[in-house]
Amino acid sequence: MGRGPFNSSKKMIRLALHGCTNRPFYHVVLMWNRAPRDGRPLENLGYYDPMSNIHWRESAGIKV
């Protein structure tokens, strides 16, 4: 049961957690599926800020 061409690691889109305690901020990143959540990404795709302002409006952006 070795690692052949069909058992290789796959890429996935994740939310990498950044920010402070009680003030989360996420980067939308492309990573290998076995990499840690906050590890080095292959590519930064955008961001997500669930607490962007005082009116509780969420903010998100995607790199085009």
* pLDDT tens string 11-37: 999 999 888 888 888 999 999 988 888
What residue segments make up the domains of the chain, in order of their start?
A: 11-62
Q: Rounded to whole angstroms, how far apart are CA atoms 44 and 37?
A: 13
* CATH, range 11-62: 3.30.1320.10
The backbone torsions φ and ψ at residue 22, rounded to the nearest 5 degrees and listed phi first, read 65, 15
pLDDT of residue 2: 53
Residue 62: pLDDT band with limits 50, 70, 90? confident
Q: What pLDDT is recorded for position 20?
A: 86
* pTM exceeds cut of 0.75: no
Fill in the amino acid letter for 21. T
CA dihedral angle for residue 31, residue 36, residue 41, residue 42, rounded to 10 degrees:
-40
Question: Contact at 8 Å (CB) between 45 and 13?
Answer: yes
